[in-house]
Amino acid sequence: MNDLKRKILSAVETDLHDIEKALSDNLNPYLDLVSAVAGHLLFSGGKRLRPLLMVLAARLCGYSGDYEKTFSTALEYLHTATLLHDDLVDEAAMRRGKKVAHATWGNSITVLVGDYLLARALSISAGTGSLRVVQVLAKLTENMSQGEVHQLMRKGDVKLSEDEYMEVIRRKTAMLFEAACQVSAIISDAPEEKEKALAEYGYNLGIAFQMADDLFDYTLQTADFGKEVGADLREGKLTLPVIYALKQARSDDRQLMIKIIQDNEFATEDFKTLIGYLEKYGGIEYTQERATTYIETAKAALSIFNPSPTRQTMLDIADYALARRV
């Protein structure tokens, strides 16, 4: 574990403990099977980043109520619901080092438990007493599902542009980070400028976080990653490292890359060849640079808040989004 991670974990230890407890206390189904399926993914070592950001952002806004940890579960339930449905979509075999839920319980149960979590998230957010909060989260859910549809529509298309990639990750990832931070400001009755600043922090962090995730598919080993390296490509999911390298590549190299990309059953050797091209044409480096810029923007957005341990933790989390290895 690196120093930054250790520093963050020590600062948020109590919060993470409370969030973990709230996640288990508020799941609340009448069927044990629903607990089992939801719990399989929900309690499989997720980072709790979204609820944690929500709790920290509320603290930064001086929130004085006692609902923020319960409410933070809505963000994790929503996230888990999309993972359950997305794993089905992706036909992925592993998530966080475990077999995906639908491999054990089948597609049907998995879809329905995802629906349950989604509904539970909205119920819990209604508990804030704020209609705006519900509106933000319902609109977010509309956007997330459309982002996934968009990604599926463009599956395997080597002509996918950087703009379209940005549109997809904006909806499927960044908006959830944005919402997590924004709703904290709303429940804290924070002034508009603080709400905007937190939304900006969350949004830019979310973009960078997804870019880093997309990089991991080319820079990590399966054992560290908790899911199969190369899975994105095998599913026809073209991400920024590939999109950029394809654009920069010489025509003959480009053809070779496309051949590997379009071969669903590519060999490990081919995958290594592709990574070589991503490095040669700067796809890895470019993605790292873009992600770094988004992180800088995220951090700058917090400058309207006075220095505090909470603000520092949020700045550290932003740095960690790129420094992490999972």
125 vs 313, beta carbon nearer its own copies: 125
4 vs 111, beta carbon nearer its own copies: 111
The angle that helices 13-25 and 49-60 make with each other, rounded to 10 degrees, is 120
For residue 231, state whether it binds its own copies (rule: CB under 8 A): no
For residue 65, state whether it binds its own copies (rule: CB under 8 A): no
Radius of gyration (C-alpha) of the chain in whole angstroms: 20
- For the CB of residue 33, give the shortest distance to its own copies in the complex, in Å: 6
Of these, 1, 14, 30, 265, which contacts its own copies (CB under 8 A)? Answer: 30
- Determine the distance from the C-alpha atom of residue 245 to the mean position of all C-alpha atoms in its chain, rounded to a whole number: 24
Q: How many alpha carbons fall within 13 Å on the CB side of residue 86?
A: 22
For residue 119, state whether it binds its own copies (rule: CB under 8 A): yes
Q: What is the largest CA-CA distance in the chain?
A: 62
Instruction: Specify the residue for token string 């599926």.
Output: 152
b vs e for 192-209, b when ≥16 Cβ sit within 10 Å of the residue's Cβ?
A: eebbebbbbbbbbbbbbb
- For the CB of residue 27, give the shortest distance to its own copies in the complex, in Å: 11
- For the CB of residue 209, give the shortest distance to its own copies in the complex, in Å: 21
The residues with which 95 forms a beta bridge, in sequence order, are: 98
For residue 318, state whether it binds its own copies (rule: CB under 8 A): no
For residue 179, state whether it binds its own copies (rule: CB under 8 A): no
- For the CB of residue 302, give the shortest distance to its own copies in the complex, in Å: 29
For residue 152, state whether it binds its own copies (rule: CB under 8 A): yes
Of these, 9, 93, 138, 267, which contacts its own copies (CB under 8 A)? Answer: 138
